[in-house]
């Protein structure tokens, strides 16, 4: 099933194998990189299917799990198993084990995490609820193998349903960017949005609002990468969204005028290219929300962070898709959908959305090495 798909992805989309990794020995399949795909709710019980595809031989391994928040991390897929109530690691050889140091407590109602750019560090939050429903969020940072683990921030107890949510590490890994997040917000919205972003100094524990967040009154998308903080916000007439760009290194603020689109009232899913050249985000229109006639239209906007300008990247799309990574030297974007299996690609040169795989691409794992994470 995935033979043609993974060849297409490797040859046409994900040249990262050739660029980032030395040629693996051919006599040990454990050294082969592995592409991982997700199919959601493959039966009436809602179980998901993970398919691990050897990038060199095409051999497949399948695991079926009841998971959330699937994240490639070193040689495994990190996810929360809803059936077990545990954080799990799924490996390319079919091994499924509990994560050695990220696990909920008895009072924990949610676990979230974020990984830094080179996969050397991880931050996670335990959102705990007491008997009255008050939320306390504990944030911990460690090396990817569990080394140097330390608590960096505690928020709460809160009675207003607010919890802390990790978003990204800074370029030098000295700062963690987080959100004062409404619990359950992104579970109810079609795209990822944030309330009020702040930073945590990982050495001192000091916190500070991100630039402009003291006056921010919009639950909108945001992204931090490549030294930029990108935040679409409502314009002065409250009918469209300007894009505010903060150069975090130079401490300079830019405002990019809104794209005129009627009734696109949700904005989010901001994804900044690793080189800090572009950002993409979604504008969503929902009609007849919550009814059997509900329909969704999505337009993606492209922000040029060199010229500080933006333009629409796509015509309206009736299938909800979300950007997941940049590819082809940041000249194309890979998308998946929360509502439909598949992987799509948009070339910046023409803005055409092409389906390139039948299942959702999660990422590419490094050579199999269970000790990397199990030693923690």
pLDDT per position as a tens digit, 59-88: 899 999 999 999 999 889 999 999 999 999
68: domain range? 1-99+336-347+354-376
Indicate whether 331 belongs to any domain: no
CB hemisphere CA count around 11 (13 angstroms)? 7
∠ CA 84-85-86, nearest 5°, is 90
Higher-confidence position of 161 and 42 = 42
**C-alpha to C-alpha distance for 23 and 273, rounded to whole angstroms:** 26
pLDDT above 70 for 370:
no
The residues near 200 (Cβ < 8 Å, ≥ 6 apart) are: 139, 152, 153, 175, 176, 177, 178, 206, 207
Domain count, the chain: 3
> Is residue 83 located within the same domain as residue 118?
no
**C-alpha to C-alpha distance for 246 and 228, rounded to whole angstroms:** 6
pLDDT at 76: 94
> Is residue 167 located within the same domain as residue 111?
yes
pLDDT above 90 for 40:
yes
pLDDT at 10: 42
Beta carbons of 218 and 194 less than 8 angstroms apart: no
∠ CA 343-193-349, nearest 5°, is 45
179-193 average pLDDT score: 77
pTM of structure: 0.86
> Is residue 218 located within the same domain as residue 236?
yes
pLDDT at 376: 39
Indicate whether 196 belongs to any domain: yes
pLDDT at 351: 83
Indicate whether 323 belongs to any domain: no
> Is residue 111 located within the same domain as residue 94?
no
The region of weakest confidence among 6-15, 62-71, 152-161, 364-373 is: 6-15
pLDDT at 285: 85
> Is residue 7 located within the same domain as residue 37?
yes
177, 209, 241 - which closes a domain:
209
Confidence of residue 25 (pLDDT cuts 50, 70, 90): very low
Return mean pLDDT, the chain: 86
pLDDT at 191: 78
> Is residue 32 located within the same domain as residue 75?
yes
pLDDT above 90 for 198:
yes
Q: Choose among 154, 146, 89, 79: nearest CA to 111.
A: 79
**C-alpha to C-alpha distance for 191 and 202, rounded to whole angstroms:** 29
Beta carbons of 194 and 212 less than 8 angstroms apart: no
184, 209, 234 - which closes a domain:
209
**C-alpha to C-alpha distance for 376 and 179, rounded to whole angstroms:** 27
| Joined tokens for residue 209 | 């609002």
pLDDT at 367: 65
pLDDT above 80 for 360:
yes
Q: What is the DSSP letter of 120?
A: S
Indicate whether 325 belongs to any domain: no
pLDDT at 373: 55
75-103 average pLDDT score: 95
| Joined tokens for residue 95 | 């091994």
> Is residue 117 located within the same domain as residue 64?
no
pLDDT at 4: 40
pLDDT at 57: 79
Confidence of residue 183 (pLDDT cuts 50, 70, 90): confident
Q: Give the rounded percent of residues in the chain with a pLDDT score beyond 90.
A: 61
> Is residue 171 located within the same domain as residue 267?
no
Confidence of residue 8 (pLDDT cuts 50, 70, 90): very low
pLDDT above 50 for 375:
no
189, 209, 229 - which closes a domain:
209
Indicate whether 328 belongs to any domain: no
pLDDT above 60 for 220:
yes
> Is residue 76 located within the same domain as residue 114?
no
> Is residue 199 located within the same domain as residue 266?
no
> Is residue 7 located within the same domain as residue 30?
yes
Radius of gyration of the CA atoms of the chain, in A: 20
Beta carbons of 367 and 31 less than 8 angstroms apart: yes
Beta carbons of 308 and 256 less than 8 angstroms apart: yes
Higher-confidence position of 32 and 201 = 201
């Amino acid at each position: 099933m995935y033979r043609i798909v993974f060849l297409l992805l490797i040859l046409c989309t994900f040249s990262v194998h050739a660029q980032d990794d030395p040629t693996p020995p051919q006599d040990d399949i454990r050294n082969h990189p592995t592409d991982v795909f997700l199919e959601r709710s493959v039966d009436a019980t809602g179980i998901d299917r993970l398919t691990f595809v050897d990038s060199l031989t095409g051999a497949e391994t399948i695991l079926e799990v009841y998971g959330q928040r699937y994240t490639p991390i070193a040689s495994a897929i990190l996810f929360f198993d809803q059936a077990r109530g545990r954080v799990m690691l799924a490996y390319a050889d079919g091994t499924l084990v509990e994560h050695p140091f990220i696990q909920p407590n008895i009072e924990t109602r949610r676990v979230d995490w974020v990984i830094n750019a080179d996969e050397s560090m991880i931050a996670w939050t335990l959102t705990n609820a007491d008997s009255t429903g008050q939320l306390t969020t504990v944030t911990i940072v460690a090396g990817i193998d569990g080394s140097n683990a330390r608590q960096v921030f505690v928020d709460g107890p809160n009675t207003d349903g607010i919890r802390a949510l990790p978003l990204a590490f800074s370029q030098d890994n000295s700062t963690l960017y987080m959100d004062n997040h409404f619990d359950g917000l992104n579970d109810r919205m079609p795209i990822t949005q944030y309330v009020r972003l702040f930073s945590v100094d990982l050495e001192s524990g000091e916190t500070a609002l991100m630039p402009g967040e003291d006056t921010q009154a919009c639950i909108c998308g945001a992204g931090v990468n490549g030294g930029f903080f990108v935040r679409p916000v409502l314009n002065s007439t409250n009918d469209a969204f300007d894009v505010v760009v903060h150069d975090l290194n130079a401490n300079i603020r830019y405002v990019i005028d809104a794209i005129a689109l009627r009734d696109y009232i949700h904005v989010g899913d901001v994804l900044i290219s690793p080189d800090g050249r572009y950002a993409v985000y979604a504008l969503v229109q929902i009609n007849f929300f919550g009814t059997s006639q509900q329909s969704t239209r999505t337009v993606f906007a492209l922000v040029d962070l060199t010229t500080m300008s933006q333009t629409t990247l796509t015509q309206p799309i009736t299938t909800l898709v979300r950007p997941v990574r940049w590819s082809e030297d940041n000249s194309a974007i890979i998308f998946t959908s929360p509502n439909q299996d598949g992987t799509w690609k948009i070339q910046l040169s023409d803005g055409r959305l092409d389906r390139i795989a039948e299942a959702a691409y999660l990422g590419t794992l490094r050579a199999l090495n269970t000790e990397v994470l199990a030693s923690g």
